Amino acid sequence: MTYTTQCPDCQTRFKVNDAQLAVAGGLVRCGRCSHVFNATLHLVEQPEPPRLDEEAPAPQPETPHAHLPEHRTPAEELDDFELEVPDFDPEAARAEAEAERLAAERTDEMAEEKLPPPSDDSAAPTPEDIDAFQRALSDALHTPAVPHHDRSPDAPIGDPFAEPVSTFVPPPSHEADTRSEEDDEDETPAIFDTRRTAAKPAAMSENEPFAEPFTPARDEPALSFATAMDPVDTPTTGRAWWKTTLLVAASVVGLTLLAGQLVYLNRTRIGAEVPELRPALETACKAFGCTVALPTDLQYIRTEWSDCPQLPDHPNVLQLQAKVRNRAPYPQAWPMMELTLKDGDDQVLVRKVFTPKEYLKADDFKLGRFNANTEARVDILFDAGPIRPRGYSIYWFYP
């Protein structure tokens, strides 16, 4: 069924049905002023339709103004605005209505209150005092700021990219003074409808006074263009440059000495691993009075074959024959040879050490080194005395 309800705020009438009334318990929102009200409490009676059995009134003669539409007041018209079902909680709507009622009661109470009469304890100020106070206040408020156009080129200019601060102060006007006096006289508190204010956008008042210009309390120290852009050449900078140069030179010398010390301590190994550098190392050592020794890696020295028989005509003379090989990939120094003679119980009878000059041929000894991956032949005769050895052993070593 369709009903007609009327907004209690703007007196606009709307048509509602049972479905709309059942959504929020009869609460609806006006489509014109957005006021929320209970539609069931503001229903308007609809006029009954005319009966068909009633006699129609006699036609009246047509007048020149009969074709003009009948003028109807806005209150009698039915607006075509649609009602909106509120999308809020009914409990919140009731709380809002209660808050509006309390605000209205508070407004009535404040309107009934009266200002207390002024006390007679303090004497009223004289017109001369009031005029003097107003003149002093006006001079203090409207004193123009001191211009800064007379700064010297070396004075600090602050941030050159900052926006200039406006120091314009509007001149006093008679209208502003009159408005101030009226505001002082009328101190009745005004009550605003917070709901209406929140629903409509706030508009700036045409009589709003200008904001007070910002004036810095003091000038912060800043670099001027002359100080920030001009190159600085001071004795301190010169000393720093010389100090940096000396530090770099000392670092280079120190690194060179360290590298030379490492090469000196490892000259033998460097000459063995990199044979191409050995001539350069020997030349450098001659200048400093040192030599590049040959490697002495005993693990690469191996006896390939050996024999130690007695001569038939000389039973006390033994002949040692052997082949020794250098398996290292680089030349080495000649090792020392130790010969040990043993009896049948493997007990040591005699031990004798031979130098490279004693067990090598003259041509091999003149080379001065045991070349890489080469063999050397050992062939020596020695007198063993009255002992009759049953075994022997050869041991190579470096002193």
Residues ≥6 apart with Cβ < 8 Å to 115 = 187
Give the pLDDT mean for 376-385.
88
Q: What is the CATH number of the domain that holds 333?
A: 2.70.50.60
Residue 160 lies in a domain: no
DSSP single-letter state for residue 189: P
Do 276 and 303 reside in the same domain of the chain?
Answer: no
Do 279 and 306 reside in the same domain of the chain?
Answer: no
Do 312 and 266 reside in the same domain of the chain?
Answer: no
Cα distance between residue 392 and residue 84, in whole Å:
125
Answer whether residue 201 shows pLDDT above 50.
Answer: no
The closest alpha carbon to 28, from 40, 17, 41, 37, belongs to 37
| Residue 281, both tokens | 């190392």
Domain count, the chain: 2
Share of the chain above pLDDT 90, in %: 19
Residues ≥6 apart with Cβ < 8 Å to 299 = none
Do 318 and 338 reside in the same domain of the chain?
Answer: yes
Do 309 and 350 reside in the same domain of the chain?
Answer: yes
Answer whether residue 28 shows pLDDT above 60.
Answer: yes
Residue 52 lies in a domain: no
Tokens 């350069």 belong to 280
The closest alpha carbon to 229, from 149, 153, 151, 164, belongs to 153
pLDDT digits over 159-184, tens only? 445 555 444 555 555 444 545 444 54
Residue 289 domain boundaries: 253-293
Residue 375 lies in a domain: yes
Answer whether residue 227 shows pLDDT above 90.
Answer: no
In order of 80, 210, 380, the CA distances from 207 in angstroms are 39, 9, 131
Residue 307 lies in a domain: yes
Do 315 and 279 reside in the same domain of the chain?
Answer: no
Range of lowest pLDDT (213-217, 313-317, 322-326, 337-341): 213-217
Residue 260 lies in a domain: yes
Cβ(322)–Cβ(333) under 8 Å?
Answer: no
pLDDT digits over 86-126, tens only? 554 556 667 777 777 877 777 666 655 544 554 444 456 67
Residue 338: per-residue pLDDT: 95
**Helix/strand/coil for 48:** coil
Residue 100: per-residue pLDDT: 78
Ranges of H-type helices in the chain: 18-23, 90-112, 127-141, 174-185, 194-199, 225-229, 235-265, 267-273, 278-288, 356-359, 362-367
Do 317 and 262 reside in the same domain of the chain?
Answer: no
Q: Within 10 A of 280 (CB to CB), how many other CB atoms are there?
A: 13
Which sign, positive or negative, has the C-alpha torsion 33, 36, 39, 45?
A: negative
pTM of the model: 0.37
Do 309 and 363 reside in the same domain of the chain?
Answer: yes
Cα distance between residue 153 and residue 140, in whole Å:
32
What strand order describes the sheet that includes 348-354?
348-354, 336-342, 391-397
Q: Within 10 A of 398 (CB to CB), how many other CB atoms are there?
A: 13
Residue 374 lies in a domain: yes
Residue 133 lies in a domain: no
Do 369 and 308 reside in the same domain of the chain?
Answer: yes
pLDDT digits over 29-45, tens only? 888 888 888 888 888 77
Share of the chain above pLDDT 70, in %: 59
Residue 234 lies in a domain: no
Cα distance between residue 29 and residue 198, in whole Å:
16
